[in-house]
Amino acid sequence: MEERPLPTPQRTNPLGMIALAAQGLGKSALPMVAAMFGLRNEFSGIALVLVALAGVGAIMAVLAFLRWHRLTYVVGAEDIRVESGIISRAARSVPYERIQDVSLEQKLLPRLLGLVEVRFETGAGGKDELKLAYLSAEEGARLREVIRERREEEAETPAASMAEQEAQPDSPPIFAMGPGRLLRFGLFEFSLAAVAVVGGLAQQFDFLLPFDIWDWEEWSGIVAGPGEQIAHLGPYAQAAGIVLALGSLVVLGFATGIARTFTREWGFRLDRTPKGFRRQRGLFTRTDVVMPAHRVQAVQLGTRILRRRFGWHSLKFVSLAQDAGKASHVVAPFAKLAEIDPIIRAAGFEPASDGLEWHRASRAYLTDSMVLVGGFFALLALGLGIAVNPLLGFAPLALGMALVLGEQISWHHLLHASDAHQLYSRHGWLAPKSQIASRVKLHSAEISQGPLAQRRGYATLVLGLAGGVLAIKGLPVERARALRAAVLESMTGTDFSELR
């Protein structure tokens, strides 16, 4: 029998050297600033900048060429092999069955150059994930389809045909967000992160400032002049100044939230493809992720206090693949329930029906929670009242009463239900969250009981998922055992190789 020739090792796109060099320059920015400050008396400012940029740029260019030249990859019949390293060589081989999915990512500069970073998600997470930086956008899409075809052994659907189907521009998305939706979304993403960033930069580059920003006396001297002028204007002007300062923070918070939302979610589009779901988003860093439908284990529906009043919710898929280091893929970050329900059904799940029978946690679980919380704060109040001052005991006592009431309210919203195919879980009052899990796709079912729970006759049912666990707390032991038996029966009675 004639032996098949071994695949030829391939290199990434040569234009990737530009992106790699720019990436190295970015990481060298802080050392460059420190070096220029240290040598500021040796050269003139412009000459120093030019010399530093030329020297570091040359070094980064050489390193980028060596990294590009020394990185090769081979798409074999059973695995993909990547060799890299300038001084010490590293070779890694990942079988196709270990690759859970392949995603494409484009930061700003690679995107301008028409390049993508290809990430092979193996489920290990973090630095253990395999990636190729950078390939052309066409080669990246082709490689993703080739690997997915070989992994799933669906040779009857050619890779090129699948790529064309997924890139079909005329097919409407199952969910999308335009600029108007993003603006409303951003208004709910209030954040003062910009203040923290400015503070962090000021701390890192405080040597460039004319005074010590952490010296209170310096600030007192700077503010003394304007402060005295404002004091002479009277209480109304002082109040107006305070309002103006607070208003500036509010405006900054809304502007930061809007900017972060537009940057992260720009061009958000979710498509239902023949193999699953394809999500694209990002202004400066564009990501293109394909989520096979059969790998979605559960869906998570959530909201927040203010969003709930306006009817806005978010939807995530808990998948065997990962999304930027997280096991949940955001597929509808800001949507109405009428938009979310079709996505849930397209993933093979059914939203909770009106006739579903919901169950609360055991009353013994509620009683124990209230006693433990209330007892702790009662003892704290008693200790403060005896050791320090009786009046100091009222604060923890009032807080304990409020938390006990919170336990009561939370118990009323701690619900679970089950049908022949799915498990449902709800929790939360002001910001409720719910989860729907497929019984046949769960990894494990475990009953957990502490010493108190054993004596009181309740337990926690812990259901294993790719992204952690789904825990249903406070179940009566009999119901926990019945649910575990039903889940195990669904799991063992299913041939997972047929889940496509």
CATH of the domain at 100: 2.30.29
**Token digits of residue 97:** 């069955």
Please say whether the beta carbons of 249 and 243 come within 8 A.
no
- Residue 94 pLDDT level (bands cut at 50, 70, 90): confident
User: Does residue 338 sit in the same domain as residue 388?
Assistant: no
Q: Which two tokens stand for residue 221?
A: 């001297």
User: Do 367 and 489 reside in the same domain of the chain?
Assistant: yes
Instruction: Decide if 130 contacts 117 (C-beta within 8 A).
Output: no
Instruction: Give just the sign of the alpha carbon dihedral 277, 282, 286, 287.
Output: negative
pLDDT in tens, 120-171: 877 655 555 788 889 998 998 888 888 877 776 543 444 434 444 444 556 7
Asked whether residue 293 is domain-assigned, the answer is yes
Whether residue 352 is contained in a domain is answered as no
* Between 389 and 198, the higher pLDDT residue: 389
Domain presence at residue 178: no
- The reply to whether 213 and 158 lie within a common domain is no
Of 100-109, 122-131, 258-267, 390-399, the poorest mean pLDDT is in: 122-131
> Judging by DSSP bridges, how do beta strands 313-323 and 326-335 pair with one another?
antiparallel
Both 30 and 150 in one domain: the answer is: yes
Nearest 5 degrees, angle CA 476-CA 479-CA 484? 125
Residue 41 lies in a domain: yes
Of the residues 264, 295, 311, which one is the last residue of a structural domain? 264
Residue 276 within any structural domain of the chain: yes
pTM over 0.85: no
Structural domain of residue 69, as residue ranges?
Answer: 16-166
Q: Would strands 90-95 and 115-121 be described as parallel, antiparallel, or unpaired?
A: unpaired
Total tally of structural domains belonging to the chain: 4
11 found inside a domain? no
Give the pLDDT confidence of 245-277 residue by residue, as tens digits.
788 888 888 999 999 999 999 999 999 988 789
Backbone angles phi, psi at 9, to 5 degrees: -60, 140
Residue with tokens 């798409």: 75
In terms of domains, do 339 and 477 share one? no
Where is the domain boundary, 313, 346, 379? 346
Q: 123 in a domain, yes or no?
A: yes
491 and 369 belong to one structural domain: yes
Instruction: Note whether 67 and 113 are same-domain residues.
Output: yes
Do both 388 and 482 map to the same domain? Answer: yes
**Residue 231 and residue 313 share a domain:** no
